[in-house]
Homo-oligomer: A and B are copies of this chain.
């Protein structure tokens, strides 16, 4: 029965020290970290037990209304702030989740992070953002430092192998975004449908040949997009081909323009919006205009897609919803136990038509002159 003794000693110590500290602060010396006020301080002042103070905050309702009110007032007066670290130690819950992204400079992730943050905040969780900077190594080390400090993880973008992902998903709840990993809960967008919508739109505009600008080979999204394109093409009497891979950013698109211009088609679908935007630039430098000479469709509908000229027609992925959904999944796993490791959750897409697509060679209107007229059909 030593506990009581220990506590008694501590309390007397506090009682006298508190005075001393207060005096010193009043004296003007100590400014930073003047010792935090704890539930013990509040308890003493309010004439209740520390455990009651604890309940008053973490389990309102389990304590007499009047007492609770008094405690709140005292706490306010004393400037009490719950210490999340202490709470985390005894509950084994930090109320933080990690969101891992590939690149903080990639606008694609901005909206996802927003959605994740909102969903987390709504549940009383804080998001710890980890930027992998497109590096497997950095991603691992960031995760290394992080896993132990969070309750769950959203892999919004990951360069790690499937098995590495399965590994950490054994330690903490993990949800993978935009990638299907066996044995791990996933949230993906409906790429097949997106590809079909894009092709239908192009077919309706009279296009017959479509070039796909490929993204990173390691990208799961790239794989499904290209496959879906190929599968949807025949029914629409369309022919598709693939060039690349290109780095999925604006410079990558500029580079793609060079390769594309060597054997152009009247329509292009790009792996993502950045690549598409880069392509417009690259083509412009060669006198090839979008949509006059080439119709172009991107993927993702990042914010910039509607700002560029011409406005980019694109397959809109619900970025914000992706972040929010994935986050809610981890949260559910944290609270409820295992998440359904079955089929990935599929989020809907829609085609946003802007100004980068037009009828092939201005069918029904005066034919264009210059570069466009000279474009040979590939294949």
Residues of A within 8 A of B (CB): 1-3, 5-6, 31-33, 81-86, 88-89, 92, 94, 96, 104-105, 107, 110-111, 113-114, 117, 121, 126-129, 131, 133, 141, 145-149, 170-173, 250-251, 278, 281, 284-285, 303-304, 307, 309, 337-338
Contact = CB atoms under 8 A, between A and B. Distances in A.
Contacts of A171: 32
21 contacts: A2-B2, A2-B5, A2-B6, A32-B170, A81-B147, A82-B148, A84-B148, A85-B89, A86-B89, A105-B107, A105-B110, A105-B114, A105-B303, A121-B141, A126-B146, A127-B129, A129-B129, A250-B307, A281-B307, A281-B309, A284-B309
Given A32-B338, A113-B104, A85 B133 contact: no
A149 B309 contact: no
A147 B6 CA distance: 30
A161 B337 CA distance: 43
Contacts of A147: 81
A300 to B, nearest CB: 14
Contacts of A85: 85, 88-89, 94, 148-149
A32 B2 contact: no
A33 B170 CA distance: 8
A114 B104 contact: yes
B114 A126 contact: no
Closest 7 CB pairs of A and B: A2-B2, A105-B110, A129-B129, A85-B88, A84-B149, A104-B110, A250-B307
A153 B247 CA distance: 35
A92 B84 CA distance: 11
